[in-house]
Amino acid sequence: MAILIKKGKLVDPASGCEDILDILIEGEIIKKISENIKVKGAKVIDADGRIVIPGLVDMHTHLRQPGREDEETIQSGTLAAAKGGFTTVCCMPNTVPCIDNPVVVSYIFCEAMKNAKVEVFPIGAISVARKGKRLSEMGRLKKAGVVGFSDDGRWVVNSQLMRRAFEYAKMLNIPVISHCEDPFLSEDGVMNEGYYSTILGLSGIPGEAEKVAVFRDISLLELTNSRLHIAHLSCRDSLELVKKAKKENLRVTSEVTPHHLTLSDEAVKSFDTNTKVNPPLRSREDVQALKMGLKEGVIDVIATDHAPHSKEEKELEYPEAASGVIGLETALSLVVKEIVEPGLLTLKEAIARLTINPSRILGIDRGEIKEGGIANVAIVNLSKKWCVEEKDFLSLSKNSPFIGWTLPAKVEFTIFKGKVVYKD
Ligand SMILES: [Zn+2]
Ligand SMILES: [Zn+2]
């Protein structure tokens, strides 16, 4: 059945549109965008007082399937995505087995076709089993459908291997996504190295673990003129390196997570293991720098790094607990609260970092609302407050540091390829 979205404020960063318009969806496609559309027999969604935005695009999600279906599956992860307003998620390759060959890629596409609520694009591994020893079959991975290469969770320590990865990725016109962390500097660390790690008696990870890695990767980028996307930037110094590289017209882009924009290492005082993430929550100055980086366009993308973990992996002493938090269901609300409401970015600018920017980096035709385009749409009530409660998460894992928080911006509908996949 056709869907007619009435009187919503369309906020589409790709076209710059910010007007009250009706949107008619027929089949999987946006048929018409105009004022006052009249059509018989369509299901009408009254979006008066709501914003209508492109379905969000998360370029950094961990879906845990295959391998850890107790923590998340393609089905549950995409259900959580739909609830958060996402219609596209890119899944990182640190599954078991790893996404380092075409068989695993086709398994993911098959599972997604059967069970996913929204679209899934796999990211392929840079090295076989993410071990940093041999390159994966990057050409065959691209043919199978991966949209990026990453050994996420690990940095490619071997510079020669990384150089080759950049060269192949360039031929394939796919970005290399780097988890920038020198493992020797971060080895025993469990939180940011600084004042709070000292008073809490926890071993620290210095910002230099990231900075050193970012510097090496940008140097290799310069050597190869390939494309580099830096995952989850966390500190001011590495941000400065990205800024400089951008000024020199190197093809580097970067992302930040909602949790790194919201929390600082002070939050670890609670010893809540849901504040344990990798890279760690940094200092207040770093958080402020990340916000400025977002404003200045040094950071192009907000990505969740949605990382589900079971209670067994989280309910441990702080040093032993797994790193990572879930993020799909709270991302948009946190961005509105931390970035839009304080006036750091306009709503349109913030939505760009969650839609068209990641789409362009990955070279996928998503993240915008246009006539003839795929009908991926989220309808959001910005002023509706909601409380984050553990029982309400659709993700199989509940490891969120935001449980108990009251947030603005409730996703009321998510439409994927013309079908309502989430309704509040
Ligand atoms: Zn990572
Ligand atoms: Zn990750």
- pLDDT band at residue 271 under the 50/70/90 scheme: very high
Alpha carbons 343 and 281: distance in angstroms, whole number = 23
Give the pLDDT score at 404.
98
Per-residue model confidence as pLDDT tens digits over 275-321: 999 999 999 999 999 999 999 999 999 999 999 999 999 999 999 99
Rounded alpha-carbon distances, angstroms, from residue 308 to 55, 109, 146, 231, 232: 22, 20, 22, 17, 16
CB distance 8 to 20 below 8 Å: yes
**Interhelix angle 236-247/284-296, nearest 10 degrees:** 20
What is the arithmetic mean of pLDDT over 112-140?
A: 98
Q: What percent of the chain has pLDDT over 70?
A: 100
DSSP state of 69: T
What is the arithmetic mean of pLDDT over 87-111?
A: 98
The whole-chain average pLDDT of the chain stands at 98
Instruction: Report how far ligand 2's centroid is from the alpha carbon of 307 (Å).
Output: 7
Give the pLDDT score at 381.
98
Instruction: Report how far ligand 1's centroid is from the alpha carbon of 135 (Å).
Output: 19
- pLDDT band at residue 264 under the 50/70/90 scheme: very high
Instruction: Report how far ligand 1's centroid is from the alpha carbon of 233 (Å).
Output: 10
54-362 folds as: TIM Barrel (3.20.20)
Is residue 330 pLDDT above 90, yes or no?
Answer: yes
Of the candidates 348, 394, 388, the one whose C-alpha atom is nearest the C-alpha of residue 367 is 348
Q: Which amino acid is at 184?
A: F
CATH 2.30.40.10 maps onto the chain at 3-51+374-423
β-bridge partners, 194: none
Give the pLDDT score at 153.
97
Closest ligand to 324 CA? 2
Instruction: Report how far ligand 1's centroid is from the alpha carbon of 279 (Å).
Output: 7
Give the pLDDT score at 61.
98
Instruction: Report how far ligand 2's centroid is from the alpha carbon of 187 (Å).
Output: 18
Instruction: Report how far ligand 2's centroid is from the alpha carbon of 61 (Å).
Output: 7
Closest ligand to 61 CA? 2
CB distance 416 to 119 below 8 Å: yes
Alpha carbons 95 and 81: distance in angstroms, whole number = 18
CATH 3.20.20.140 maps onto the chain at 54-362
Count CA within 13 A, CB hemisphere, residue 100. 19
Q: How many CB atoms lie within 10 A of CB 251?
A: 16
CATH class assigned to 3-51+374-423: mainly beta
Is residue 1 pLDDT above 90, yes or no?
Answer: no
Closest ligand to 155 CA? 1
Closest ligand to 58 CA? 2
H-assigned helices in 225-368: 236-247, 258-262, 284-296, 311-314, 331-335, 347-352, 356-362
Alpha carbons 47 and 53: distance in angstroms, whole number = 11
Q: What percent of the chain has pLDDT over 90?
A: 100
Instruction: Report how far ligand 2's centroid is from the alpha carbon of 72 (Å).
Output: 14
Closest ligand to 181 CA? 1
Residues serving a catalytic function are: 305
Residues with CB in 5 Å of ion ligand 2: 152, 305
Pairing of strands 149-150, 119-122: unpaired
Give the pLDDT score at 258.
98
Instruction: Report how far ligand 1's centroid is from the alpha carbon of 232 (Å).
Output: 7
